Amino acid sequence: MDMQSRPPKIMDRVKAVMRVKRYSPRTEKTYCYWIRYFIRYHGVRHPASMGPSEVQAFLEHLAVERYVAAAKQNQALNALVFLYRHILDMPLGDIGTFSRAKRPRRLPVVLSHEEVMRVLNQLSGPMNLMATLMYGSLPAVCLPALEAQIGVG
């Protein structure tokens, strides 16, 4: 078989379709990474010989054994959905339940009174006036909502 009659390799097809669909180069690189990782994780089996249960096992592996962030697990899922839908023409459908990576709980940054005063002391003129008014009116705006939320008042 000569080179021209050989079908393109799967990763070449992924890249070609992503370029036609105008995906960003960074997305292309990321999707290719996750597709290669998926194939290696399953012993270099061709993705066409696998399906939802292998995708589920891979995503579970990422969350439970590799402790990836939720965003990384979602990237991997999106890459595999792309592969199966647009390259293999085998939509995954329902892949069942799998352990989701934990999303970190983001706490708001709250400055102490002293820290706020240091910031305000660095400002002058109209900026100082605006910041002082905003800082001074914050309790009047926020306290009623907070009291209603916790059932006080």
Domain count of the chain? 2
The reply to whether 70 and 134 lie within a common domain is no
Tell me how far the alpha carbon of residue 70 is from its chain's centroid: 6
* Residue 25 DSSP symbol: H
- Res 97: pLDDT: 74
- Res 6: pLDDT: 67
Sign of CA dihedral 31, 32, 36, 37: negative
The reply to whether 76 and 15 lie within a common domain is yes
Residue 75 lies in a domain: yes
The reply to whether 25 and 74 lie within a common domain is yes
Residue 95 lies in a domain: no
Domain with 53 in it: what CATH number? Answer: 1.10.150.130
Per-residue pLDDT of the chain (153 residues), as tens digits, is 455 666 679 999 999 999 999 999 999 999 999 999 999 999 999 999 999 999 999 999 999 999 899 999 999 999 999 999 999 999 888 887 777 777 667 777 777 878 888 888 888 888 888 877 777 766 655 666 666 666 665
Please tell me the pTM assigned to this model. 0.64
The reply to whether 35 and 78 lie within a common domain is yes
Q: What are the DSSP E strand ranges found in the chain?
A: none
The reply to whether 119 and 78 lie within a common domain is no
The residue behind tokens 């999106």 is 78
The reply to whether 77 and 126 lie within a common domain is no
Burial 6-22 (b: 16+ CB within 10 A, else e): eeeebeeebbeebeeee
Residue 107 lies in a domain: no
The reply to whether 18 and 66 lie within a common domain is yes
The reply to whether 42 and 78 lie within a common domain is yes
Closest CA to 78 of 13, 9, 10, 14: 14
- Res 34: pLDDT: 98
Which structural domain range is residue 48 located in?
10-87
- Res 151: pLDDT: 67
